[in-house]
Amino acid sequence: MGKALDGVRILDFTHVQSGPTCTQLLAWFGADVIKVERAGAGDITREQLRDIPDVDSLYFTMLNHNKRSVTIDTKNPEGKLVLEALIQKCDVLVENFAPGALDRMGFTWERIQELNPKMIVASVKGFGPGPYEDCKVYENVAQCAGGAASTTGFDDGPPVVSGAQIGDSGTGLHLALGIVTALFQRVSTGRGQRVLAAMQDGVLNLCRVKLRDQQRLERTGVMKEYPQYPNGTFGEAVPRAGNASGGGQPGWILKCKGWEADPNAYIYFITQAPVWAKICNVIGKEEWATDPEYATPAARLPRLKEIFAEIERWTMTKTKFEAMEILNKYDIPCGPILSMKEIAEEPSLRKTGTIVEVDHPLRGKYLTVGNPIKLSDSPTEVTRSPLLGEHTEEVMAELGYSLDQISALRVAGAI
């Protein structure tokens, strides 16, 4: 079966996490992704957090599947010519260098347009135009500047960053959408364009419910579904809400059987209004279904702590999986807190290709997260990440270079 992005060629100038997640997605959808790296070094993540000496790290392999790797020194005059040939042949250039790096290399937007007016140039930067536009940015900087950290954690503790890489992988996802949208627009305009996804913007986009709450707070001075209500105080800014649900249906994380020894023996429990009577039945508090102090969502809001404590008395008698099975019978929304170990071993995720085992010539078999987006007419087959420069000769030959020219460029240190 063909792939959605068959025929689309990506000049992948990305490194570390944010850019590579974007181009990996495009590769999974069928684009030919040619990753350009510096000879002898490559993407810095190849050697970061290594678990096997001298073998590409899991950090690298898990972000660079289905790509080809070529080495080019883009600061060498002859290397620049090779990059120019690639720009002329590709549809999209994706990069996430520090601000200005591409210009310093001599590849300004204007120069790229001269070489290929149809080229889409897509960038991840830490910040958009403004006071921080020249800053280098990593994941947690974006989580802090995008509003995630100030709204994550518990009220009596410091701001907390999330394990979900919303700054890097989240922005990569935003950029991928921008790229396919620009490719779509190019069909009618015939022109390329610039696509920018700033990490601060991407994180804020994912935190938009908190900007919603900021405005609710300013209008009413209180947010009744937050754990600070009714006994705590609200300041001027949205506070950290612990494990509160963030939506209109109150929720919390509750202990399950075995919590004393297992740090993940917990369940997320949502007291969805339409199933309130069923919740009361399950936990043995039938009277709460009709008691005016508990029967309506508004009446429950000031009592959420007491209500969740009562529900927890019940969840502590069940494992998280037992609780899940019982609650789902009654359509009560809930979710077990799954550890990475449990997720890695989950057969259904293996079956759908969300968790995939990949074989690598130097590291052997390892697990990775496959394509989380499933297209019925464009299935994803995850193939291993390339070794550094594995496809240099192949790609150079496609660009029309002879073997002698390739050898000469190697001697000159251009590739």
Catalytic residues: 168
The nearest distance, CB 363 to ligand CAO, in angstroms, is: 22
The nearest distance, CB 178 to ligand CAO, in angstroms, is: 14
Q: Does 21 bind ligand CAO (CB under 6 A)?
A: no
* CB distance 182 to 120 below 8 Å: yes
Number of residues this chain uses to bind ligand CAO (CB under 6 A): 25
> Using CA atoms, how far apart are residues 204 and 139, in angstroms rounded to an integer?
13
Q: Does 366 bind ligand CAO (CB under 6 A)?
A: no
Query: Per CB under 6 A, which region of 108-116, 124-132, 244-252, 397-405 contacts ligand CAO?
Result: 124-132
Q: Does 133 bind ligand CAO (CB under 6 A)?
A: no
Nearer to ligand CAO, 124 or 282 (CB): 124
Nearer to ligand CAO, 139 or 201 (CB): 139
Long-range CB contact pairs, 45-52, < 8 A, 24+: 45/15, 45/16, 45/17, 45/20, 46/388, 52/362, 52/363
The nearest distance, CB 119 to ligand CAO, in angstroms, is: 18
What track of x and - describes contact with ligand CAO for positions 175 through 204 (by CB under 6 A)?
A: ------------------------------
Residue with tokens 């690639």: 86
The nearest distance, CB 39 to ligand CAO, in angstroms, is: 8
Dig out the tokens for 252 from the structure. Answer: 């919390």
Please count the CA atoms within 13 angstroms of the CA of 303 that sit on its side-chain side. 15
Q: Does 101 bind ligand CAO (CB under 6 A)?
A: yes
Q: Binding residue for ligand CAO (CB under 6 A) from 12, 32, 91, 139?
A: 139
Q: Does 74 bind ligand CAO (CB under 6 A)?
A: yes
User: In the chain, what's the furthest Cα-to-Cα distance?
Assistant: 87
Cα-based angle 78, 100, 31 (whole degrees, multiple of 5): 65
Q: Does 137 bind ligand CAO (CB under 6 A)?
A: yes
The nearest distance, CB 36 to ligand CAO, in angstroms, is: 6
Nearer to ligand CAO, 52 or 98 (CB): 98
Q: Does 125 bind ligand CAO (CB under 6 A)?
A: yes
* CB distance 324 to 334 below 8 Å: yes
Q: Does 126 bind ligand CAO (CB under 6 A)?
A: yes
Q: Does 98 bind ligand CAO (CB under 6 A)?
A: yes
Q: List the end-to-end C-alpha distance of the chain, in Å, as a whole number.
A: 35
Q: Does 225 bind ligand CAO (CB under 6 A)?
A: no
What track of x and - describes contact with ligand CAO for positions 28 through 47 (by CB under 6 A)?
A: --------xxx---------
Nearer to ligand CAO, 98 or 412 (CB): 98
Q: Does 414 bind ligand CAO (CB under 6 A)?
A: no
Tell me how crowded residue 218 is: count the other CB atoms within 10 A of its CB: 11
Nearest partner of 62 among 381, 338, 366, 354, judged by Cα: 366
Which amino acid is present at 36?
Answer: V
Query: Per CB under 6 A, which region of 2-10, 98-106, 336-344, 391-399 contacts ligand CAO?
Result: 98-106
Range 160-179, binding ligand CAO (CB under 6 A): 168
Nearer to ligand CAO, 239 or 389 (CB): 389
Q: Which residues bind ligand CAO (CB under 6 A)?
A: 16-19, 36-38, 72-75, 96-98, 101, 104-105, 124-126, 136-139, 168
